[in-house]
Every structure is written in C-alpha cells, then in structure tokens.
A and B are shown apart, each in its own frame.
Chain A
C-alpha cells in the first residue's frame, strides 16, 4: 500500500532533549516536506526537499533540522526542543518536484508535547 509513515505518532518529552521524528514513503517520490499545525494558524511549512541531498527552508524553519540522505526518508530533528515546538506535525511527499500537477500525500501526523 502506498503511504507516508511517520514515527512516533505521539511523544511527550522535556525541554532540551534531542528528538527525531522519522518520515518514510514507499512511492519513490522526489519531493518531501514537513509541516506543523497549531490552532488558528493552519498548516505551516517547516522544511522541504526537492530530491536527495536537496533541502530548503519553509516558512517556520527555526529550531528544526532535516536531512535527505535517501529518497524514501526525510527525518525531522529537534536538537534542543522547547515548549513552543509543541504541535501536530505532518510529513508529505509528491512524485515529481519539477511538475506542478502532482498532489501531495500526507502522513497521519505526529503529536509532540514538550514540557
């Protein structure tokens, strides 16, 4: 089954403890992206990747890192999490980053709580 898989789905942690949220897609998609969703603010893009080893900042990249060493994986790294990064996070992918007529496929989300 074609899907975008995020892990963990839920995480409660403490300020300053490094964490990684993994994202994997099995569709051989070029484009991958991370979003965060907060009440009243909609979906905001954190980082995106057009292909392996090609990443760029979205609208809210501060406090996050990403890497794209392989096509299928796009982990989101919080080196020193803070309470303002408590949010619902979504990973998404699409087939061809160079074409405009490719819809994004989203994962089920990761709910992070940072105390």
Chain B
C-alpha cells in the first residue's frame, strides 16, 4: 500500500473551514484514500473515503487531485469538538490486509 505524508499539526479558528492535506504520491489506481480521526485516546472514528471523485458527507468533504497524488479533507465549519488527530491512509481494492496509519495531523480548533 502507498504511504502517506501529513503535517504534524495545524490550527484552525472556530467557525472557519479546516483544510487538512495529505500526500500520497505513490498511490496506485485501485487504492482508496481514507480519513479517520481520533479524539483524545478514544477509538479512531471513520470520516470519509474516496477513490477518484470528490466526496462529501455530513461530516466532511474530500478533495482528491486529478493525478490522485494528494488529497485534502475539509471540515467546513470547524468547532471545538473537531480538535483531534486526523489520519489519512491509503488502502487497496484487494482489501485491508496490512494497514499503516502513521502519526496523523493534530488539529487544534481555537476559540
């Protein structure tokens, strides 16, 4: 599976959009991009995933570049409850098998 690179930390003002980048330059054509978040030491929570097209759900939007080498998770109106560590992972179409989470981005939403 492709490896991902994320900035270790980011700040965002409450009410503003939080844009979290992820680089996955070695991604293959059949690999999905997933985003999870972990609040404090709770179990990671699934947010969104995509293959080629941009995706949106009630939590966030996922923008994947045309060459699929990077993506951005967008939290449209960040709240204090969105303060968490956000993980971007890449997973192949053959299923999970071995999964690498990395250290993620610590997002701090500031009042």
Contacts and interface: CB of A to CB of B under 8 A. Distances in A.
Interface residues of A, number: 35
Interface stretch (A65-73, A78-86, A94-102): A94-102
A33 interface: yes
A50 to B, nearest CB: 7
Interface in B61-104: 87, 91-104
B46 A103 contact: yes
A13 interface: no
A33 B89 CA distance: 15
Interface of B: 30-32, 34, 36, 41-46, 49, 51, 87, 91-104
By DSSP majority rule, is chain A's interface helix, strand, loop, or mixed?
strand
Interface string A49-80: 01000001011000000000000000000000
Contacts, number: 84
A42 B96 contact: no
28 contacts: A33-B99, A41-B103, A43-B102, A45-B98, A45-B99, A45-B101, A48-B98, A58-B98, A58-B99, A92-B43, A97-B95, A97-B97, A98-B94, A100-B91, A100-B93, A100-B94, A101-B32, A102-B96, A103-B46, A104-B44, A104-B46, A104-B96, A107-B43, A108-B42, A108-B43, A109-B41, A109-B42, A111-B41
Contact of B34 (A50, A99, A103): A103
A43 B44 CA distance: 10
Nearest to A4: B43
Interface string A10-44: 00000000000000000000010101010011111
Given A104-B46, A108-B43, A98 B98 contact: no
